[in-house]
């Protein structure tokens, strides 16, 4: 199965600049722009959709810049479904082939066919999910069938097509199996949030009973982050753009299922925040709650040092949830200097300027890394999504003359490429299954449950006790076995 990281490095190289590479040729362009393509200092900045599609297809003397191949294949789905684009590519190839067959350059037909196969190979490796659609697969077969007819003597092109097809099928099968496995193994916490049952305090585990080292827990969180974010692909991220554009929204409606990976990763952030709040709220003694808060502050700090900003933000968000934030007596015992520093890094003012500065520093460290530990960069996913969203909303898809604003899509492609580079880093830390199992399967309180236990820990002024006539969602009553469905009254149990 081809690895995405290899494909990205070969297609995009160190940057996604869109500059025309030496020896690659330049099709339909001039010093100031020719035809329906406009170049500025050698960089394609706009063009009609038809001209951009033609610019994708090789000729005898031209092969598109690989940065262009990736950027156009990624952004074109905003305007046209992949199977329709593939059909148009097939038509352009057929027209060129007919010209070569009838003209004086029939000997160059084999070279042209090899270039077409190379383009298809790069497409299937970078965006294999495009070919899960039956229409796209049919178009691919039609193009490859026509191409093989040009190389019936030695079969070199035919062998390359066979290898490409085999790799594509393996990639599609692997993705399909992975998604089916995730559906089967989805923990309750990743759905609606499981209800924490009432258990005797002596047998009720907490995170400190599983891992008391903040660095180790931060490393295990980084493991989980990298495993989950690696299931996100460039075309998944492009859904952020393609489904926000009302003008072209109808074109890609069938691709909505691809947002599963984005939703699952976003759910992980929410569940981690709720887990932090649950671990704090369910502690009975104030002294132990203080220790729990300080522990999570240290974990967030270690996440920051590693470059795992997503887990860091989730932990801070959990501690800022109302049921935790209102525990003023507990917070008065916490040494908050470290927490204040973390909140400074995540200060939302000036569009999260402090966070972006830290992210830039982590990015530079990753680029100059001497070890795999220094390569880790896990941005705050929600902020990354918002950046793509606003980049899309601020800049139009089309210029006044009707051209596609390709300058905009260069920038979107650059940001997505950078994100994908971060997701392909292999986690250097040793995996601890016991800790990860707890993080992924430990029950969490609902928001109502957290609020109830927070109130029990720190009752409002003039409140002596709390009496419930029926259990709130996510809360069990003290002394009531789970199989008694009609308990009418009881005192709130601090264990839930």
CA angle 216, 218, 222 (to 5 degrees): 115
Are 487 and 480 a contacting pair, CB within 8 Å? yes
- Domain locations along the chain: 37-182, 205-247+258-457
Tens digit of each residue's pLDDT (9 = 90 or more) over 337-395 = 999 999 999 999 999 999 999 999 999 999 998 888 999 999 999 999 999 989 999 99
Q: What is the pLDDT of residue 348?
A: 92
Q: Does the domain formed by 205-247+258-457 have CATH 3.40.50.2300?
A: no
Closest C-alpha to 308, from 193, 229, 192, 387: 229
Give first-to-last CA distance, the chain, whole Å. 47
pLDDT-based confidence at residue 437 (cuts at 50, 70, 90): very high
pLDDT in tens, 115-129: 999 999 999 999 999
Evaluate whether 52 touches 404 at the Cβ level (below 8 Å).
yes
DSSP state of 204: -
The C-alpha atoms of residue 231 and residue 175 are separated, in whole angstroms, by 9
Would you place residue 71 in the very low, low, confident or very high pLDDT band (cuts 50, 70, 90)?
very high
Instruction: Taking residues 207-216, report their average pLDDT.
Output: 95
| Nearest-5° Cα angle at 218, 420 to 312 | 65
Pairwise CA distance, residues 96 & 147, whole Å: 12
Q: What pLDDT does 254 receive?
A: 40
| H helix or E strand, kind and range, residue 467 | strand 467-468
* Over residues 254-267, mean pLDDT: 71
Question: Edge-to-edge strands of the sheet including 43-47?
Answer: 37-40, 43-47, 404-405
Q: What is the CATH number of domain 37-182?
A: 1.20.870.10
Which element (helix H / strand E) includes 38? Answer: strand 37-40
pTM of the model: 0.78
Q: What is the mean pLDDT of the chain?
A: 79
Confidence of residue 3 (pLDDT cuts 50, 70, 90): very low
Among 60, 71, 58, 64, smallest CA distance to 17 is for: 71
d(CA 243, CA 441): 33
Which tokens belong to 332?
């008065």
């Amino acid at each position: 199965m081809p690895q995405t990281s290899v494909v990205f490095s070969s297609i995009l190289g160190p940057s996604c600049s869109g500059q025309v590479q030496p020896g690659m040729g330049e099709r339909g362009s001039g010093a100031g722009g020719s035809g329906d393509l406009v170049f500025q200092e050698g960089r394609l900045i706009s063009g009609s959709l038809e001209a951009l599609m033609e610019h994708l297809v090789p000729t005898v003397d031209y092969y598109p810049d690989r940065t262009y191949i990736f950027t156009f294949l990624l952004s074109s789905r905003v305007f046209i479904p992949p199977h329709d684009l593939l059909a148009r590519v097939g038509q352009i190839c057929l027209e060129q082939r007919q010209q070569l067959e009838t003209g004086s350059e029939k000997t160059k037909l084999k070279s042209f066919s090899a270039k077409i196969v190379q383009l298809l190979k790069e497409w299937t490796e970078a965006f294999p999910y495009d070919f899960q659609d039956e229409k796209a697969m049919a178009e691919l077969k039609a193009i490859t069938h026509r191409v093989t007819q040009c190389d019936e003597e030695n079969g070199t092109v035919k062998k390359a097509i066979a290898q490409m097809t085999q790799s594509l099928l393996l990639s599609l099968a692997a993705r399909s199996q992975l998604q089916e496995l995730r559906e089967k193994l989805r923990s309750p916490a990743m759905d609606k949030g499981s209800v924490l049952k009432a258990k005797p305090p002596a047998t009720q585990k907490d995170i400190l009973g599983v891992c008391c080292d903040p660095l180790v827990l931060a490393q295990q969180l980084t493991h989980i982050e990298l495993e989950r974010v690696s299931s996100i692909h460039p075309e998944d991220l492009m859904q952020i753009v393609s489904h926000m554009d009302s003008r072209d929204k109808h074109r890609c409606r069938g691709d909505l299922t691809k947002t599963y990976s984005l939703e699952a990763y976003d759910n992980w952030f929410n569940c981690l925040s709720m887990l932090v709040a649950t671990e704090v709220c369910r502690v009975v003694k104030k002294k132990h709650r203080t220790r729990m808060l300080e522990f999570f502050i240290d974990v967030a700090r270690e996440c920051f040092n590693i470059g795992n900003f997503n887990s860091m933000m989730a932990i801070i968000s959990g501690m800022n949830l109302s049921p935790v934030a209102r525990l003023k007596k507990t917070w008065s015992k916490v040494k908050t200097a470290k927490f204040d520093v973390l909140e400074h890094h995540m200060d939302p003012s000036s569009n999260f300027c402090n966070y972006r500065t830290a992210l830039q520093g982590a990015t530079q460290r990753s680029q100059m890394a001497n070890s795999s530990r220094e390569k880790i960069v896990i941005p705050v996913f929600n902020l990354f999504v918002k950046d793509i969203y606003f980049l899309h909303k601020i800049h139009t898809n089309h210029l006044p003359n009707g051209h596609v604003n390709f300058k905009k899509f260069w920038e979107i492609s650059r940001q997505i490429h950078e994100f994908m580079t971060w997701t392909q880093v292999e986690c250097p830390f040793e995996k601890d299954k016991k800790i990860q199992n707890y993080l992924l399967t430990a029950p969490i309180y609902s928001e109502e449950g957290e609020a109830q236990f927070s109130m029990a820990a720190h009752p409002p002024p003039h409140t002596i006790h709390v009496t419930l006539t029926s259990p709130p969602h996510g809360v069990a009553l003290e002394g009531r076995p789970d199989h008694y469905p009609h308990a009418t009254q009881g005192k709130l149990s601090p264990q839930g």
